[in-house]
Amino acid sequence: HVLKCPGTRLATPGEFSARAFLRGRLTLNEAEGVAATIAARSAEQLDAARLLMEGRTGETYRQLADACAAMLALVEAGIDFTDQEDVVPIAPKVLGERLRSVVQRVDSLIGASGGREHTDGQPRVAIVGNPNAGKSTLFNALLERRRAVASPIAGTTRDVLSERLDLSRVAPGAGEIELQDLPGLDPRVGSVIEVQSQRAARDAAAHADALIWCDPDGNFDERSLADLGGAGKAVLRVRTFGDRPAEGLGAHVEVCALDGWHLDTLRRALADVTGGSISEGVASLLPRHRRALAVARKSLESARRSIDPDAAALAAPEVVAGHLRHALGALGELVGHISPDDLIGRVFATFCVGK
């Protein structure tokens, strides 16, 4: 009955939180905490969302940014006094230890994703299976555009194709993944190009965070899972060509890429397996946080590797400062802009240049 009153309507998704944010009643992190609470799929994720709503996660981000800003201030102070050997604002060994400590704190926030070779913060999902299993057709259907060449001729896909896939439309809070279309896995190859193609496919499957295992008949031989690089990672068994009859019953999802049957079901399943494969904390719920933390970690680790802890002074302070600035910029996306005045203040708070 209320909706029948003039001027009354249903609120749009997130409208109340958006109004609170625009009126200054919620910070952006606190507003994201509301979304994270809705998207939470475990008790640990719910606890992480609560910390975000209470502002405690934001305070953790601020502490990380403060630590990076303090180190950057000292490194840049040293650049100003490179002609004075007796002025060393911070010893390389001490700086290296501080960097290691900050990296460990970032790792605790982004969980397993901190150890990935790819550091864009996006889960990587590879579509694997035999030749002509419908992998490229499924790849295009999930992206909702033609990106890969789909053909009934075996071996058409020779390269590993990667595209971003946004899952938030069907799974709020899920964010983006990196979806890969791999060449069909076939040991019966002869040419040099085919051998290289197989090697690239197996390498991509081994380094993926999760796999979509395609088979038109729904018959999945578990003995071949290790050969697919699926040991120890999430694997979604998908029967492609769902419009055709099949006897196999081993699929998690049956899809038809031609008419879109069950594609949203597969997208939601992808959101579930990739969300759990990263972390059970806030980084698994909010891709923006995950990306920023991953970028910051990579820059901090680069700064640490640029330091010789046994040296009396930094050999390349400009390089270290550049990495620290990049890390600080990434953290600034989570805590707000770090101004030059902040850096100047930290210089005079920790190192008296007048003496």
Amino acid at 84: Q
Q: Which fold has domain 124-278?
A: Rossmann fold (3.40.50)
* Residue 72 DSSP symbol: H
State the CB neighbour count (10 A cutoff) for residue 73. 24
Distance CA 62, CA 291 (A): 17
| pTM for the whole structure | 0.51
CATH number, domain 15-114+284-350: 1.20.120.430
Q: Of the candidates 120, 281, 135, 278, which has an alpha carbon nearest to the alpha carbon of residue 210? A: 278
Q: What is the pLDDT along the chain (355 residues), one digit of tens a residue?
A: 666 778 777 777 778 888 888 888 888 778 878 877 776 666 767 777 788 788 788 888 889 999 999 999 889 888 766 666 666 678 899 999 999 999 988 887 876 444 444 445 578 999 999 888 999 999 999 999 998 877 766 666 678 899 999 987 887 666 789 999 999 887 776 677 778 888 888 888 888 889 999 999 988 877 676 666 666 678 899 999 988 887 777 788 999 998 999 999 999 889 878 864 444 556 655 767 878 888 999 999 999 999 998 888 888 899 999 999 999 999 988 886 655 555 445 444 544 444 4
What backbone phi and psi angles, to 5 degrees, belong to 129?
155, 180
In sequence order, which residues have a C-beta less than 8 Å from that of residue 184 and are 6 or more positions away? 129, 130, 131, 132, 133, 135, 154, 155, 157, 201
| Residue that has been written with the tokens 């600080």 in this structure | 328
The encoded tokens of residue 284 equal: 């698994």
Q: Are the C-beta atoms of residues 173 and 186 closer than 8 Å to each other?
A: no
What backbone phi and psi angles, to 5 degrees, belong to 288?
-60, -45
Write down the pLDDT at residue 342: 56
The encoded tokens of residue 147 equal: 């990106």
State the CB neighbour count (10 A cutoff) for residue 208. 27
Distance CA 33, CA 52 (A): 5
Q: Tell me if domain 15-114+284-350 and domain 124-278 are identical in fold.
A: no
Write down the pLDDT at residue 354: 46
Beta strands in the chain (DSSP E): 124-129, 161-166, 176-181, 210-214, 234-239, 253-254
Write down the pLDDT at residue 41: 64
Distance CA 56, CA 280 (A): 17
Distance CA 119, CA 107 (A): 12
Write down the pLDDT at residue 32: 78
Extents of the domains making up the chain: 15-114+284-350, 124-278
